[in-house]
Structure 1
């Protein structure tokens, strides 16, 4: 595994409506590494992921992905760089089919091939292929989580950011999500998973970062 970071955040400062949300937060992710971002609700986990994705702008610090200055990059460049994002609220378009939702970020890419990415997603999650024609609004919350993961996988060729993927889902689906994520190990795909506790996936992580009030805390053992 290369020692050169794929994602590096150093001293990130982010404010939301003049309230400090990240306070000098730092984090490093290596190629192919599975990293846990652990913290209670409101600790800054989603803020960090939204900053990486360009939804929020840092007021200070440095944020780089594969050598690119993310703070100075347009939001759409994340997909082109190979970053896939699964927001906690799933963020699906209700009136579109499952397959259309998965392909949304692929369609804006100049390099990704739709069939190739669909084959990859459906190969990992055959149950998603079975509901490809269904509209997203007809799916259960758990099924929507799988589709949101599929959409992130379709465009995330270098890195996945998964915000609370296990939150609010039935134990069987939580187990299934863990299986899919675990299957990505060894594929040189970096994965960052945020969650409020470690009940679901401690065995997945090669490294953990604990965040509290927007700042780094000592890692729990």
Structure 2
């Protein structure tokens, strides 16, 4: 489904990603574990096309994404939940969820209904402005928006960061339910606290370099 091969990326001439290679199979849920500043967010943004590569390639379902713009990647079925949510404060919850459809020119709303069925609590405050929600509720809305676009691949950057335990548990339940949808998912975390029971394999990232973790080393992380 997703393959990165020897990706290198610098920001303001500072190397951030160094020869990064990883693969996520169809229907697999993968963890990306690394401390703050290790390169997790940069890697997610590179996959979405928000940052240009210096070297290497990113392929999605056999298609080279090198020249694809972010909205074109979303149109391919890639959804992205940024660490800082990036909701439009004065938009309603439903308007924020619809943003990805508007950006790609997609007029099909069946997936919005599916998201409401998956997370009924979202439907209960669909008319509220995003700025009136708690941080945890905003994470749920950002996840809903990512799910509307991410019919094939979902990128979740620190989805549990700054979320109350009850809402973190709810997020974990929703992500676990996605296995039945055959979605490929990449989840980044600073440690292995929340994603341990969700993932099929784990990559570790440290100073922009990535490695596949074994089951024993992942459990110790």
TM-score normalised by structure 2 residue count: 0.95
Q: 2:193 aligns with which of 161, 185, 199?
A: 199
Residue 170 in structure 1 maps to residue 160 in structure 2: no
Q: Counterpart of 1:71? A: 66
Q: Please report the RMSD computed on the Cα atoms of aligned residues, expressed in angstroms.
A: 1.1
Q: The residue matched to 1:14 in structure 2 has which SS?
A: strand
Deviations 1:19-73 (A, max 9, x none): 0010001110001000000100010110000001111011001111112211221
- Cα shift at 1:111: 4.5
Q: Return structure 1 stretches of 4+ with deviation > 2 angstroms.
A: 108-112
Q: How many residues align?
A: 215
Q: 1:50 aligns with which of 41, 45, 48?
A: 45
- Cα shift at 1:186: 2.7
Closer, same or farther: CA 112–179 of 1 in aligned 2, 3 Å: farther
Structure 1 CA distance, aligned partners of 2:91 and 2:107? 20
Structure 2 CA distance, aligned partners of 1:9 and 1:33? 15
Q: 2:91 aligns with which of 96, 107, 127?
A: 96
Structure 2 CA distance, aligned partners of 1:63 and 1:217? 17
Residue 8 in structure 1 maps to residue 3 in structure 2: yes
Residue 24 in structure 1 maps to residue 16 in structure 2: no
Q: Counterpart of 1:105? A: 100
Q: The residue matched to 2:163 in structure 1 has which SS?
A: coil
Structure 2 CA distance, aligned partners of 1:79 and 1:123? 22
Structure 1 CA distance, aligned partners of 2:104 and 2:163? 31
Q: 1:151 aligns with which of 137, 145, 153?
A: 145
TM-score normalised by structure 1 residue count: 0.95
Structure 1 residue ranges without an equivalent (≥5): 1-5
